[in-house]
Amino acid sequence: MVKGKLVIKGILDPEDARLAIEHGADAIIVSNHGGRSMDYGPSTLEVLPEIVAAVNGRIPVIFDSGIRRGADIFKALALGANAVMIGRAYLWGLAVAGQSGVENVLDVLRGGIDSALLGLGKSDVKELDRTDVVAPSDFFRRLG
């Protein structure tokens, strides 16, 4: 028996999200563990909206893959993620300048989020929704 919260990482399919909830997960992390392991695997951003729909607010959905700038965080939140993990970005700052490097990375990410919000005339990430961004799968479907 697990004592504490159970968070399952590596969810890339809505059915896996449903199963995680059914088996007691307290949260899930949509992640491809740092990169596509197969050329034909889906991108995390592409599958995020379907997973969010499958979870339907029952548990938090955390996004973790490919975060390199504030706009990446903005897109994940707009597509329904409750939180975003920044992955390697903070490590780059840490390696270069220790704590101040991490603080700089966080400032840069915040600035990117603020710029994206400003461009939409919004003041808070809580105001975001799917209509604020076009998911890659929607974009390619529109191209036909």
| Ordered alpha helix ranges (H), the chain | 14-22, 44-55, 70-78, 89-120, 136-143
1 class by beta-carbon count within 10 Å (0-12 exposed, 13-18 middle, 19+ buried): exposed
The domain in which residue 43 lies consists of 7-143
2 in any annotated domain: no
- Segment 92-99 mean pLDDT: 96
Please give the structure tokens belonging to residue 67: 């975060």
Higher local confidence (pLDDT), 128 or 66: 128
Is residue 85 in a domain?
yes
Cα-based distances in Å from 121 to 28, 74, 107: 31, 14, 21
Among this protein's residues, is 23 annotated catalytic? no
Q: What is the CATH classification number for the domain harbouring 75?
A: 3.20.20.70
> In the chain, how many domains are there?
1
Residue written as token pair 């399919």: 13
Residue 139 has pLDDT above 60, yes or no: no
| Within-domain flag for 1 | no
Residue 109 is encoded by which pair of tokens? 């990410």
**DSSP letters spanning 66-101:** ---SHHHHHHHHHTT-SEE--TTHHHHHHHHHHHHH
Q: Is residue 115 part of a domain?
A: yes
| Residue 84 domain flag | yes
Which of 33, 58, 88, 110 is catalytic? The answer is 33
132 located within any domain: yes
Quote the pTM value.
0.86
pLDDT in tens, 4-59: 999 999 999 999 999 999 999 999 999 987 665 566 678 899 899 999 999 999 99
Considering the chain, what is the average pLDDT of its residues?
Answer: 89
Percent of the chain with pLDDT over 90: 71
Domain membership flag for residue 89? yes
